[in-house]
């Protein structure tokens, strides 16, 4: 079904609740088989401080465009999920106060007609509905430390079990329980590959002490895995995504001792402030930026940019197959 103004909705028998808008640029790219990479908005809205967040959002899109890849930044604006934002939309997710939306929040935001930044989970969901196969983020959410009593496990993990989207991530933050996160990904049957590494990275650091079963060396190898997933019979089950664990580049990681010191402070602060639920991740991130005097922020930007670059190469290889 095609709406006005070049806006396209899904076929009426498949209209998801809520429907979403594809930008003209993304719609054209999907139709003609050009490479497209989804980008999330929570990292911009809740993960990075102003004004660096707006610079980062523009930079990530520019990295893709320079590589001949169409960026599809995803967010909900005025109640309508958008796959692909114009300049004004990018500015809004960086400058406006907006909610952090996981998948379960989407119908509520739609009903209220308000705006929200989408987490990895919600971005994955919308990317899958739109048919975008590759997604770049900074760090994936996961199982929080203490989850055995708090049950705090990001919906990012279940979203990847249910949607055929490959997410390029610098592992998961060491503020999470990395071992438990990898175990949950195994249980959920989400494949994990190290991109040029045999070890799962821990966001600001290239290593975590957790070995991976599979290592790939190139974007072409990842594209071949995506094609094999596409070809596998789905048997009515949801098709799983893929975690591409891409370490922060050599020389751009954080000093390990500083990292350990600041993280210990951050946990103590979150505990003292009794932060719970979806406020935990933004609280820790912003505390860590301040306590590291901005060093963690530079590392965060460097690794996210590198993830965007690798996602662009994967989408290009996938489109060419």
* Chain positions contacting ligand PSU, by CB under 6 A: 40, 42-43, 46-47, 119-121, 138-139, 141, 154-156, 173, 278, 281, 285
4: exposed, middle or buried (C-beta count within 10 Å: 0-12, 13-18, 19+)? exposed
CA distance linking residue 149 with residue 7, whole number of Å: 46
Tokens of 252: 């751009």
Of the residues 40, 61, 153, 278, which is catalytic?
40
Active site residue 40: yes
Q: How far is the CB of 58 from ligand PSU (least distance, A)?
A: 17
CB of 263 to ligand PSU, least distance (A): 13
Smallest CA-to-CA distance from 173 within 251, 250, 267 is with 267
Q: Residue 202's binding partner, choosing from Mn ion, ligand PSU, none, with beta-carbon cut-off 5 to 8 A by kind?
A: none
Q: How far is the CB of 186 from ligand PSU (least distance, A)?
A: 19
Binding partner selected for residue 120 from Mn ion, ligand PSU, none, CB under the kind-specific 5 to 8 Å limit? ligand PSU
From the candidates 25, 61, 173, 278, give the one annotated as an active-site residue. 173
Shortest Cβ distance from residue 96 to Mn ion (Å)? 23
What sign results for the dihedral spanned by CA atoms 56, 279, 116, 176? Answer: positive
Please enumerate, by residue number, every residue annotated as part of a binding site for substrate.
100, 120, 154-156
> Is 227 one of the catalytic residues?
no
Q: Assess contact for 106 and 137: CB atoms under 8 A.
A: no
Nearest to 316 by CA among 72, 10, 36: 36
Select from ligand PSU, Mn ion, none the partner in contact with residue 89, using the beta carbon and a kind-dependent cut-off of 5 to 8 Å.
Answer: none
Binding site for Mn ion (CB under 5 A): 152
Q: Are 122 and 101 in contact (CB under 8 A)?
A: yes
**Which amino acids are annotated catalytic?**
40, 173
């Amino acid at each position: 079904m095609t709406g006005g103004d070049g806006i396209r909705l899904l076929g009426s028998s498949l209209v998801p609740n809520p429907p979403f808008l594809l930008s003209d640029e993304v719609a054209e790219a999907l139709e003609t088989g050009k490479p497209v990479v989804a980008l999330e908005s929570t990292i911009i809205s809740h993960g990075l401080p102003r004004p660096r967040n707006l610079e980062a959002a523009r930079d990530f899109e520019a990295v893709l465009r320079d590589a001949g890849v169409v960026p599809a930044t995803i967010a909900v604006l005025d109640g309508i999920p958008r796959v692909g934002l114009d300049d004004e939309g990018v500015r809004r997710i960086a400058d406006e106060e907006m909610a952090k939306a996981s998948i379960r929040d989407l119908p509520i935001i739609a009903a209220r007609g308000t705006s929200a930044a989408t987490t990895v989970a919600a971005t994955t969901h919308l990317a899958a509905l739109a048919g975008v196969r590759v997604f770049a983020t900074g760090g994936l959410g996961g199982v929080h430390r203490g989850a055995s009593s708090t049950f705090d496990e990001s919906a990012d993990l279940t979203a990847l079990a249910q949607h055929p989207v490959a997410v390029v991530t610098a592992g998961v933050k060491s503020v999470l329980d990395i071992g438990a996160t990898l175990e949950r990904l195994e249980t959920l049957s989400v494949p994990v590959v190290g991109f040029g590494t045999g070890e799962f990275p821990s966001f600001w650091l290239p290593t975590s002490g957790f070995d991976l079963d599979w290592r790939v060396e190139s974007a072409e190898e990842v594209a071949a895995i995506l094609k094999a997933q596409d070809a596998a019979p789905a048997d009515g089950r949801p098709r799983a995504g893929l975690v591409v664990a891409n370490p922060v580049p050599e020389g751009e990681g954080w000093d390990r001792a500083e990292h350990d010191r600041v993280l210990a402070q951050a946990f103590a602060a979150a505990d003292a402030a009794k932060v719970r639920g979806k406020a935990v991740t933004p609280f820790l991130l912003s505390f860590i930026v301040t306590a590291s005097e901005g060093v963690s922020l530079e590392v965060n930007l460097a690794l996210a940019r590198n993830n965007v670059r690798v996602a662009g190469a994967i989408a290009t290889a996938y489109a060419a197959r």
